[in-house]
Amino acid sequence: MPDIPACPVCSMENTYPDGDNFICADCGHEWPMVPSQTTIDDDVPVVKDSNGNRLADGDDVVLIKDLKVRGSSQVIKQGTKVRGIRVVGGDHDVEGKVAGSAMMLKSEFLKKV
Q: What is the pLDDT of residue 10?
A: 84
Architecture, CATH, for domain 1-36 = Single Sheet (2.20)
Domain 47-112, what fold?
SH3 type barrels. (2.30.30)
What pLDDT, on the 0 to 100 scale, is given for residue 8? Answer: 83
Listed as ranges, residues in the chain with pLDDT below 50 are: 1, 39
Four-residue CA torsion sign, 41, 94, 29, 8 = positive
Task: Please tell me the predicted confidence (pLDDT) of residue 82.
Answer: 93
Give the pLDDT of residue 96: 92
Q: Determine the pLDDT at residue 28.
A: 87
Residue 102 has phi, psi (to 5 degrees) of -75, 130
Q: Could you check whether 1-36 and 47-112 share the same CATH topology?
A: no
pLDDT at 4: 85
The Cα–Cα gap between 84 and 58 comes to 4
pLDDT at 35: 59
Domain range summary for the chain, segments of one domain joined by +: 1-36, 47-112
pLDDT of residue 38: 52
